């Protein structure tokens, strides 16, 4: 009896370890994180592999223990995202002022038609910026395209897809900049709704406009096929998304305490779940570190008040880190 129990236990552990990957806490490497509170979000990386993040009011260099904020909220700002660029200073999304800060100045004039913006994607030569945004209560989302060269801001029509778009959040360009990936999530107050997808758009090579959205991966379907039970959560809430240069897309599932790793060149059934250690509500993520291969995941800890950070050791350089090495 005793030995068969042990065998069952070993078999269980083996099964779990072969189908899931695990992260560890990185709190001791980034002591500033614990002072950033529940609104920690918007991870980004610079060309040296330093890690950055925002909270509602501050844009911080997490790699610098004595760091002064790089940007502090003004005009009722609610920061939502960040990206370090080669040619546009740093970018910080501001959900309540409805612009993106380019250093201390707005990238484009505040636009109240934008729901937020929330997350930011930028192409390799930094001529095209894409912005997601949502209204949580109304369960709606939007997508905007800012053409840096022409200084034009355009709303992309998300109507008419099947399934429809709800809240948009995670946004990222494929490593070759030909496709845009955008998350959609429907709120799930009574656990009856099971809608969370990542859509893929083709980028019009001439104009940069994202077109022809279609579902790339259905997150409930993918997790259910793995025997996981997403219905037990209030909704998966896909949040942050980042690519490595081989097409592995990392998607943080804010309400499912995990990150999904999926290679866009493979069938969604090959996606793998990364189990988190201390981050209970993974808001955002980025590949940083000296070679850009260390995936850092940030979000609220289980107390829902403190900020946590976990680390997953990956083997391929992140898209953002890679693009920042370009000389022109
Ligand atoms: C954001 O982080 C900074 C730096 O750690 C901290 O001083 C500030 O209180 C935080 N803001 C919020 C709203 O938690
Ligand atoms: C971030 O911190 C690292 C480590 O201290 C430092 O080398 C780097 O210059 C800082 N970057 C910025 C933009 O403050
Ligand atoms: C911030 O507020 C000040 C004072 O109301 C105003 O002059 C300034 O234009 C605002 N800046 C932005 C970017 O909204
Ligand atoms: C958005 O697309 C839908 C469906 O194709 C269409 O019915 C609607 O008129 C479009 N809206 C705008 C503002 O172009
Ligand atoms: C990274 O690991 C994956 C999964 O084990 C493997 O398929 C891939 O070839 C590896 N890539 C590199 C660059 O080592």
Average pLDDT over residues 274-286: 98
Longest dimension (CA), the chain: 73
106 lines ligand 3 (CB under 6 A): yes
Which ligand 1 atom is nearest residue 55's CA? 1
| pLDDT score of 2 more than 80 | no
Residue 168 confidence (pLDDT): 98
Q: In angstroms, what is the span from residue 98 Cα to ligand 1's centroid?
A: 21
Length of the chain: 328
> Encoding tokens for residue 310?
């976990």
Residue 10 confidence (pLDDT): 40
Among 47-61, 66-80, 140-154, 242-256, the range scoring the smallest mean pLDDT is: 66-80
The answer to whether 78 touches 96, Cβ cutoff 8 Å, is: yes
Q: Is the bond preceding 28 in cis, omega lying within 30 degrees of 0?
A: no
- What is the average pLDDT value for the chain, to the nearest integer? 93
Confidence (pTM):
0.93
Residue whose C-alpha is closest to residue 287's, from 317, 258, 259: 317
328 lines ligand 3 (CB under 6 A): no
Residue 141 confidence (pLDDT): 98
Residue-wise pLDDT for 32-62, tens only, equals 999 999 999 999 999 999 999 999 999 999 9
274 forms beta bridges with: 21, 259
Residue 75 confidence (pLDDT): 80
| Long-range contacts of 160-167, Cβ-Cβ distance < 8 Å, separation of 24 or more | 161/199, 161/213, 161/214, 163/195, 163/197, 163/215, 165/141, 165/199, 165/213, 166/139, 166/140, 166/141, 166/195, 167/134, 167/135, 167/136, 167/139, 167/140, 167/141
Q: Is the bond preceding 210 in cis, omega lying within 30 degrees of 0?
A: no
Q: In angstroms, what is the span from residue 247 Cα to ligand 2's centroid?
A: 28
Among 50, 71, 91, name the best residue to mutate to test ligand 2's pocket (greatest count of ligand atoms within 8 A of Cβ): 50
Q: In angstroms, what is the span from residue 58 Cα to ligand 1's centroid?
A: 6
> Encoding tokens for residue 177?
């900049």
Residue 19 confidence (pLDDT): 59
**Residue 190 neighbours by CB under 8 Å, 6+ apart:** none
- Atom 9 of ligand 1, residue of closest alpha carbon: 36
Residue 235 confidence (pLDDT): 85
Q: What is the DSSP string of 196-242?
A: EEEEEEEEPTTT--EEEEEEEEEHHHHHHHTT--GGGSS---EEEEE
- The rounded percent of the chain whose pLDDT value lies above 70 is 94
Q: In angstroms, what is the span from residue 149 Cα to ligand 4's centroid?
A: 27
Residue-wise pLDDT for 125-175, tens only, equals 999 999 999 999 999 999 999 999 999 999 999 999 999 999 999 999 999
Residue-wise pLDDT for 220-230, tens only, equals 999 999 999 88
DSSP code for 32: G
- Atom 5 of ligand 4, residue of closest alpha carbon: 160
Q: How far apart are CA 182 and CA 80, in angstroms?
A: 16
Q: How far apart are CA 170 and CA 167, in angstroms?
A: 10
Residue-wise pLDDT for 167-217, tens only, equals 999 999 999 999 999 999 998 877 788 899 999 999 999 999 999 999 999
Q: In angstroms, what is the span from residue 244 Cα to ligand 5's centroid?
A: 12
| 3-state SS assignment for residue 5 | helix
- Atom 13 of ligand 3, residue of closest alpha carbon: 106
């Amino acid at each position: 009896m005793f030995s068969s129990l042990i065998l069952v236990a070993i078999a269980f552990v083996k099964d779990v370890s072969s189908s899931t990957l695990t992260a560890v806490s990185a709190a001791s490497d980034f002591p500033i994180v614990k002072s950033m509170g529940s609104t920690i979000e918007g991870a980004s990386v610079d060309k040296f592999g330093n890690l950055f993040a925002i909270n509602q009011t501050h844009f911080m260099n997490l790699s610098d223990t004595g760091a002064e904020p790089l940007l502090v909220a003004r005009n009722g700002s609610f920061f939502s995202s960040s990206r370090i660029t080669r040619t546009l200073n740093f970018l910080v999304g501001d959900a309540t002022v409805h612009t993106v800060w380019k250093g201390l100045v707005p990238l484009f004039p505040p636009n109240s038609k934008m729901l937020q913006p929330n997350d930011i994607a930028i192409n390799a030569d930094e001529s095209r910026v894409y912005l997601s945004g949502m209204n949580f209560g109304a369960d709606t989302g939007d997508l905007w395209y800012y053409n840096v060269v022409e200084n034009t801001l355009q709303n992309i029509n998300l109507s008419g897809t099947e399934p429809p778009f709800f809240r948009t959040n995670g946004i990222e360009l494929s490593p070759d900049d030909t496709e845009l990936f955008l998350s959609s999530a429907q709120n799930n107050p009574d656990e009856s709704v099971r809608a969370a997808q990542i859509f893929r758009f083709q980028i019009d090579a001439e104009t940069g406009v994202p077109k022809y959205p279609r579902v790339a991966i259905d997150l409930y379907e993918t997790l259910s096929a793995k025997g996981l039970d997403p219905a037990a959560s209030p909704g998966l809430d896909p949040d942050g998304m980042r690519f490595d240069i081989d097409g592995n897309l990392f998607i943080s599932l804010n309400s499912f305490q995990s990150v999904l790793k999926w290679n866009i060149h493979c069938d969604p059934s090959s996606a793998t779940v990364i189990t988190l250690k201390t981050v209970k509500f993974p808001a955002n993520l980025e590949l940083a570190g000296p070679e850009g291969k260390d995936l850092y995941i940030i979000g609220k800890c289980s107390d829902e008040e403190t900020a946590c950070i976990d680390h997953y050791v990956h083997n391929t350089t992140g898209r953002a880190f890679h693009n920042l090495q370009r000389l022109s």
